[in-house]
Structure 1
């Protein structure tokens, strides 16, 4: 039997080994995004991503089949974090307020860790338009919605298997967040992502009334 710190702790939280694997996965994904945004899709190889993350190509292959999968992994990781944050919000807080704060904290962190300059936005637009990435984004989004639905079910006391509600909420949050990201990346965008997310969630919480 593996020691507790290598897999899961007795409290059910990820152990040291699992945390390190997750950290490596995240580092590789962020390196792939950073390089593709700054240098263009065709200029980035698996070897270059591995070097940027300070690991071997073999280590990269242990986690991802290619750079498209590595890039898409960041979306799944971010939604994992949104789900975790949702479950940590105050119990009496309205669900849509909790969802907004969880999404805002991961999509538009206040620490400035998400670049907002036009060069970065243009690079992200070009990267997301890459056909090779489309299929991986679809798969990552499906997995992300399932993870968020699980958190919504726990938060609301609904049944993940029988009730449509947690899955509907997760799908709406994913779609709304996607709309906010797309609008904030437009060349003519005047509002930062956080402001667009606030508008999106305000309308979702109100039931999308007709303007």
Structure 2
């Protein structure tokens, strides 16, 4: 039987999460200049050195508060029934995982604004997204038996669906709430699965690895 993380590991993760959330709250309340190791640590009741033991930079801590560590989507995908078509799994997993990640409309708007204004946060955001994409591609390959190229293309497609959905949702006023974001994610996955419309209104070909084959094609 696989054993879960021990008490020590759970405590470490709790501390990491508390520090990242404190960094985010400082950013939202007082601006980026206020996000120092000492200020973040003080909010959690630990030392500045403890912050430095968990994070290499304030940007890493800030981004992690909004984009949790890469394993959550992959873990949810692994938990889907064996043999389920990959597109079906993505359609089931992504709406809930994405809404859990973003937290709130206000958080997403703040992160997008700060990332545009601060290259270091933008770079850290890209690192987090790349890690999530690679892990998702590995998980898709495990489940589907597909080659590295097709699995990576599917992971890229999933990432595009998430990005387009979040950006569209953030551009609105957030009145639809997280349910509205979940709906956008479902719609994005459905459009990618069916093939995006081209200029003449006809659907485009599905990306390589998404056509007829084990669990990739429409209706699979």
Structure 2 counterpart of 1:23, from 14, 17, 20: 14
8 Å CA contact retained: 2:22, 2:44: yes
Structure 2 counterpart of 1:154, from 122, 136, 142: 142
Larger Rg: 2
* Matches of 1:106 and 1:39, distance apart in 2: 29
Aligned to 2:194: 206
Residue 126 of structure 1: CA displacement?
2.1
- Corresponding residue SS for 2:68: helix
8 Å CA contact retained: 2:66, 2:103: no
Stretches of structure 1 that go unaligned for 5 or more consecutive residues are: 1-9
Residue 143 of structure 1: CA displacement?
1.5
Aligned length: 194
Aligned to 2:68: 77
* Matches of 1:170 and 1:19, distance apart in 2: 29
Aligned to 1:50: 41
Q: 1:165 to 1:14 in 2, by over 3 A?
A: farther
Q: 1:20 to 1:143 in 2, by over 3 A?
A: same
Aligned to 1:180: 165
Aligned to 1:145: 133
Stretches of structure 2 that go unaligned for 5 or more consecutive residues are: 202-220
Aligned to 2:104: 115
8 Å CA contact retained: 2:95, 2:183: no
Residue 12 of structure 1: CA displacement?
6.6
- Corresponding residue SS for 1:164: helix
Q: 1:76 to 1:125 in 2, by over 3 A?
A: closer
User: RMSD between aligned alpha carbons?
Assistant: 2.6
Structure 1 counterpart of 2:79, from 78, 83, 88: 88
8 Å CA contact retained: 1:81, 1:106: yes
Matched, 1:62 2:62: no
* Matches of 1:75 and 1:121, distance apart in 2: 8
TM-score normalised according to structure 2 size: 0.75
Aligned to 1:98: 89
TM-score normalised according to structure 1 size: 0.78
Residue 71 of structure 1: CA displacement?
2.3
8 Å CA contact retained: 2:99, 2:181: yes
* Matches of 1:115 and 1:76, distance apart in 2: 12
* Matches of 2:111 and 2:79, distance apart in 1: 30
- Corresponding residue SS for 1:108: helix
